[in-house]
Structure 1
């Protein structure tokens, strides 16, 4: 589905963590004439990225970048998660980033998990952050550290709180095919989600209209129950949906259960108003329809 997204003048994008979301932006900008570089910990993935024209480096807390890796970077995207010690990017390269005079934009990818539990009430970017446990607490601390780089060093930091990410190869369609899909029955519990290409569109729009120090919730326009999304994926695939299971009978791992402990309705008004983004996939139906149709066409080409 076509999107109208503002285009900034080509520069050099450096991505700490060339994963699913960062990769979508990297490929868009590469096609628009940008220079793109970034980090990965996989030799196989590094080779594939280099074949696409993306310069790659190894980075983690124990393997900082070579001194010249960030030189000439105009736009910096960070998708590396904090660890138990803190934010590895800031810990290893915070001083380098603060001193990088060429920087015009920094994007830090966080999560809507920082809001914690609001018992289904709406939250926006001004809401209290109640995600005080585990990985959400670490995200809150990392966000504060990055925003501190803006406030203390005048660096052009933007924070993007992402909802559940899906896209080709990572959607309810794949879960159903793999036999991993379950339909949990928890009335009134809605989840927000966002297609990976709409994440890239949001980041691209922010690059064209920077607002240093700003935070954006990145989610589509229709929160929905997870069971509803799975049922729709089953309908597309022509299979019977799995039965509804009460949450207390689901036997989830602590990690999986943690996603069901918090219930909130995430607002994306600021994103639409300030960045003027029109989503290609404003709800899960549009996103799954597009993925399914592309899979069908790919199967016909084989």
Structure 2
């Protein structure tokens, strides 16, 4: 197996770690030579990809790739691989057997706190979610055209080592914003890696929500992290009067409970199904800083 990860950042590197085992070749792209060199620490051969051109070295390594994960956000210009290669991806990656596309539960839009699953039609609100829907459709159509299963992983809010409420409390940036009845799903980054491996090993395509079991108010997560740290939680702030960036405020415009039942029904077991046990694991293992 040769896994090629486009956009080998926080989630992409976690996917690489999940696939790392004897006999598996790992390759990944970043936007700088410095970051590409750092990937070697995780056993990933790094290549530079700026989203505009694919150089000879990257094209050469792509020829042997059997599995592809696309983690790069599309932006206004659209998905970079679809734009640059499209159906020619089969010629560029002749051994390709499976594709995973990392998307977001933001494609569902707002559902007033109701439970939803993959059967619900998408109603993206933000421009970035509209772009994700277009990329999802493009990858699914391409998979049909070239006869390769494409799994779309719709991810909830990502957290894990080095990116969590403990880090925010430690930096003094944690906030407890309260909006009535607001909940969010989350996903531990290691479970993203495990889900990608699960789907790839079985050659499964389609839509999959990769989320935890317990959508919860964001202020509760901060309070639990503070309790574990033994520090005072920041005071609650009303969302309506809080100073927020337009992007941060837009997240609160969508309220839904996202089900992961489809992925579970296939036999996948989440290692971190709810935030309390996950935060306890991060804190007591000391991995929250990693």
Q: Normalising by the residue count of structure 2, what TM-score does the alignment of the two structures yield?
A: 0.94
Unaligned runs of 5+ in 1: 1-10
Q: Distance in 1 between matches of 2:28 and 2:287?
A: 32
The equivalent position to 1:288 in structure 2, one of 258, 279, 290, is: 279
Deviations 1:10-47 (A, max 9, x none): x0000001111111121232234310001011322211
Other-structure match for 1:98? 90
Deviations 1:229-270 (A, max 9, x none): 000010111111111111111111111000000111101100
The alignment covers a number of residue pairs equal to 287
Q: Distance in 2 between matches of 1:95 and 1:150?
A: 9
Other-structure match for 1:8? none
Q: How far is the alpha carbon of 1:297 from its aligned partner?
A: 11
The equivalences for 1:193-204 within 5 A come to 193-204=186-197
Q: Distance in 1 between matches of 2:287 and 2:60?
A: 45
Matched, 1:279 2:258: no
Tell me, yes or no, if the aligned pair for 1:57 and 1:65 is still in contact at 8 Å: no
The equivalent position to 1:39 in structure 2, one of 25, 29, 38, is: 29
Other-structure match for 1:115? 108
Pick closer, same or farther for the CA change 1:52–1:239 going to 2, 3 Å.
closer
Backbone CA RMSD of aligned residues: 1.8
Q: Distance in 2 between matches of 1:158 and 1:176?
A: 36
Other-structure match for 2:161? 168
Other-structure match for 1:4? none
Give 4+ residue runs of structure 1 displaced > 6 Å after superposition: 296-299
